[in-house]
């Protein structure tokens, strides 16, 4: 069974969309989306520097647009399941037909703006912990006032909180943690710091008419498969202030019988986790169009 996944914030790098815009129709689609949401995705995906695309209000629409462009280039794919990490859940909702591409871009634009506004209230951030055991790490984070905002599996947890709390973590690592790596994000996402964004996103979602997913949609909230579009949308709203349980998503992939996994652009993060948590499952990360042939071959071999 093939699983199609979409990465979250922090996966973006300067110029990462440049080669994708050489594909037929891609530049026109990105320009049309740019006009629709009032954000120059072409500029940010090709010429902007790392600081510009670190901005939450920019990064989130850029990532969803990249995922949609690369999935279109992959061709007509019918996966057994779809999922996305954090903002990648909106990309996955579009894959599953819960939202059309235009609605997904409009929703993620509002999500990014609302989360950027919430992040501006207090200086916050996120750091990945490399190594350690969750049973030891999570209580240690809570002792420091931090939230285990992303429980990614494969031994990786991302902590989120104020910059002071993250500095305290650097000085006082949990037992077994080798390194603490600051992430390229501009706030403590998936924590109580994002509560103000929930209301704004709920208001934006109220005007949408979601369809039920065409493929199995696996939610970050609890790793469960979600059957209705209304439930998918409700989870997308609430998830901005709640931890991402990617570990549970991968457990569900196992239960569903995953035999292959493709990660859309800018791929790499989720395939890296899958290689450790889903040993023996072949993966392809779409980083540039040069990866499309390998992905198509994998898709052809593992489609249901």
Q: CA neighbours within 13 Å on the CB side: how many for 283?
A: 23
Cα 43 to Cα 3, 18, 243, 287: the distances in Å are 31, 10, 31, 18
CB-based contact 241:220 (threshold 8 Å): no
Among the options 34, 85, 140, 190, which is catalytic? 190
Q: How far apart are CA 257 and CA 16, in angstroms?
A: 32
CB-based contact 1:22 (threshold 8 Å): no
* 86 noted as active-site residue: yes
* 190 noted as active-site residue: yes
Q: How far apart are CA 245 and CA 251, in angstroms?
A: 10
Give the bridge partners for 156, in sequence order.
130, 153
Q: How far apart are CA 269 and CA 20, in angstroms?
A: 19
Among the options 86, 140, 193, 302, which is catalytic? 86
Q: What φ, ψ does residue 127 adopt, rounded to 5°?
A: -140, 140
Helix, strand, coil % in the chain, rounded to nearest 5: 50, 15, 35
Q: How far apart are CA 23 and CA 27, in angstroms?
A: 8
Q: How far apart are CA 5 and CA 271, in angstroms?
A: 9
Query: Do you find a cis peptide bond into 83, omega within 30 degrees of 0?
Result: no
Could you tell me the sign of the dihedral formed by the alpha carbons of 17, 264, 204, 242, in that order?
Answer: negative
Catalytic positions, written as ranges: 86, 190
């Amino acid at each position: 069974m093939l699983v199609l996944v979409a990465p979250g914030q922090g996966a973006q790098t300067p110029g990462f969309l440049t080669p994708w815009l050489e594909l037929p129709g891609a530049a026109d689609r990105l320009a049309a989306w740019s006009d629709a949401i009032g954000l120059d995705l072409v500029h940010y995906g090709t010429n902007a520097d790392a600081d510009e695309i670190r901005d939450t209000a920019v990064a989130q629409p850029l990532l969803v647009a990249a995922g949609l462009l690369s999935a279109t280039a992959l061709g007509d794919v019918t996966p057994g399941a779809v999922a996305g990490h954090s903002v990648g859940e909106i990309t996955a909702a579009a894959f599953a037909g819960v939202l059309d591409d235009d609605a997904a871009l409009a929703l993620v634009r509002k999500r990014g703006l609302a989360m950027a506004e919430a992040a501006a209230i207090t200086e916050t951030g996120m750091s990945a912990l490399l190594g350690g055991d969750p049973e030891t790490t999570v209580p240690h984070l809570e002792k420091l006032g931090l939230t285990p905002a992303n429980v990614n599996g494969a031994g990786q947890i991302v902590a989120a909180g104020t910059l002071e709390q993250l500095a305290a973590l650097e000085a006082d690592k949990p037992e077994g943690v080798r390194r603490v790596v600051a992430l390229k994000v501009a706030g403590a996402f998936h924590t109580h710091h994002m509560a103000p964004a929930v209301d704004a996103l709920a208001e934006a979602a109220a005007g949408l008419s979601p369809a039920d997913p065409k493929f199995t949609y696996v939610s970050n909230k609890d790793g469960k498969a979600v059957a209705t579009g209304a439930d998918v949308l409700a989870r997308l709203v609430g998830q901005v202030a709640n931890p991402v349980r990617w570990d549970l998503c991968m457990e569900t992939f196992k239960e569903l019988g995953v035999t292959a996994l493709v990660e859309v652009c800018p791929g790499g993060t989720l395939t890296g986790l899958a290689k450790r948590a889903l040993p023996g499952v072949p993966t392809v990360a779409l980083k540039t169009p040069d990866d499309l042939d390998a992905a198509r071959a994998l898709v052809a071999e593992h489609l249901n």
